[in-house]
Structures are given as C-alpha cells and as structure tokens.
Amino acid sequence: MDTQNSNVNATAKTLLNHAKTLRLHTGNLVNRSRLKKKCPSSPSEELQDCIRATLSDWFSTTRLPSETDLPDTLDCSIPQPTDAITPEEREELKVSVKLFLCESDQSSIRDAVEMACQTLAVSQLDSVIIAPPGLLEGDSQTLTHLQPAWEELEALVRSQRIAAIGTSDLDKDLLEQLYNWAQVKPSSNQVNLASCCVMPPDLTAFAKEFDIQLLTHNDPKELMSAATFQEAVQESTQDLNVADWRLQWVLRYSIIVKSRGIIKAKGYHVSARKAIP
C-alpha cells in the first residue's frame, strides 16, 4: 500500500471509529464522471457506486482533525458545482424526491427533507414519495404500518416543507384505506412494472376517480441491504470493520426542467448510524 492510500485508510479508520452518524451526499449524478460504471444496471448498483466513489473521494481530501475535535457526525460530500437552485429559476424547476426508509424512525423523515431542502437551497420540495421499511418475510403492508410515516409527511405539508406527498407499491385496497383515513390525500402512487406489467384495472379506476397519479418505477423492494451498504463502505476504506453500521434512510432527488421535461440534476442523500452495543 502506498503512502497516500495508507494515509487515507488511517484517516477513514480514525473518523469512522469515532463517529456515531454518517451523512453522505453524492452530488449531481447527471455529470457521472466520478463513477466507475457509467451506466449502472439497477438503482441499487447506482447507489452502491455512488457511496463508494463519494467516500473514496472524501477520505482522500479530508484532513484528520485533532483527537479532541473528532466529529460525532461525518458529513461526506465532494466540493463541486452546487445543486443549489437560485430564486430566479425556482419557478421553472420541479424538485421530486423518493425517500426510502430503512428503519421505523419517523424523525428520519424530517431530517431527510430538511437535508434535501438545505442542499438544494429551496424552502419546499414539490413532491415526496415514501417507501416504508421492508417487512418481515410473510408479512403484508397494512394501513397501521403506513400511518406513522404518513402523519409525519402531513406535518411537513402543513409546515409548507412539502407541496404533495405520494406512496409506493400500494394496491387498490390499501390505497383506498389510506385515502379515506388521511387528512392530506396521496397525490400519486408508484407501481413497479417488474411485478405488475399492466396496471391493475381496479387501481386505475380508483386513481382516476380520486385524481391520484399512477407512476411506474423499477426500484427493488429493498434498495440497499445492510450487507451491501457495509460492503460499499468497506471497499472505500480498506481493512475497516463496518459491521456495526446501519442504514437509516436513502433520499433520491431529481430536479426537472418543467418546460422541457429533462433532468437538470439528480443525486442521493444517505444517512447511517452506528449500532449501540
């Protein structure tokens, strides 16, 4: 191992051993020059590449502070042209977010939304679609399972941090239950066409009646497993034990030029925490 790699590894080991929280921002992926794989085969592979590249770059440019100044939270991002939206261009742009929750901690929703707003320099996200934590084998999603996260989203709508909120992979019955219960109604529902090549007629009819937009996606049920996340971190920091790190949430944002329908910017925010023994 050369001196530079040795220094990077020592810095990474010291910082990660001390830290309790890891926050990572990939920056704009529309410029993909930093990624090894130009066209990832799946959203999971794309995210893994992003984590690896961002951590490697960050640790190679980060100077180790004194031991008394070691941070509890690592904010890992690479200096580059900012994704911040200027007030002059805000009306022309739509900011869409999908939030993948890996834990049942509702405070994560507010943290993720605030981080996205701060990064993009906006006071409000145009739409947020929620993907709740995965269920145990054999369990099925219920309204009770969805309610805590939805109530947190509703609070963010009332405080004008989010304009519209949506769901992912709900069938007609569960979407109807959520719609009837919710104070802020879902504006959209994503359907994974890998498991459903044609929109179910009952879902289509219900969505049309209540003005809910049906969207398609190709995200897996689990965007990134704990093992895959740990592998991505470990590949960026050789010989480091990362078994006690857990993903909290992943937020993917897209900035779309309304008049042209093109993506101006796209990126990820990732939050992980160290499990307390």
CA separation for the pair 142, 132 (Å, rounded): 11
In eight-state DSSP terms, residue 261 is T
Can you give the pLDDT at residue 1? 43
Amino acid at 182: A
In eight-state DSSP terms, residue 68 is G
CB count within 10 Å of CB 139 equals: 9
Enter the tokens of residue 129: 């679609």
Enter the tokens of residue 195: 């498991």
pLDDT (tens place) for every residue of the chain, 277 residues total: 455 556 666 777 788 888 899 999 988 887 655 555 556 678 889 999 989 888 888 888 877 776 667 889 989 887 665 678 999 999 999 999 999 998 878 889 999 999 999 999 999 999 999 998 876 555 678 999 999 999 999 999 999 999 999 999 999 999 999 999 999 999 999 998 776 667 889 999 999 999 999 999 989 888 988 888 888 888 877 667 777 888 999 999 999 999 998 999 999 999 999 887 6
CA separation for the pair 102, 223 (Å, rounded): 9
Q: Are 111 and 99 in contact (CB under 8 A)?
A: no
Can you give the pLDDT at residue 239? 64
The DSSP-derived string for 93-138 is: EEEEEEEEESSS-THHHHHHHHHHHHHHT-S-EEEEEEEPPPPPTT
CA separation for the pair 25, 115 (Å, rounded): 10
The DSSP-derived string for 156-201 is: HHHTTSEEEEEEES--HHHHHHHHHH-SS---EEEEETTT-SS--H
4 burial via Cβ count (<10 Å: 0-12, 13-18, 19+): exposed
Of 206, 234, 276, 264, give the one whose Cα is nearest residue 90: 264
CA separation for the pair 27, 266 (Å, rounded): 8
Q: Within 13 Å of residue 259, how many CA atoms lie on the same side as its CB? A: 4
CA separation for the pair 170, 132 (Å, rounded): 11
CA separation for the pair 248, 270 (Å, rounded): 8
Tell me the chain's radius of gyration from C-alpha atoms.
20
Can you give the pLDDT at residue 91? 94
Q: Would you say the pTM of this structure is higher than 0.85?
A: yes
Residues 6 or more apart whose Cβ sits within 8 Å of residue 112: 99, 249, 251, 269, 271
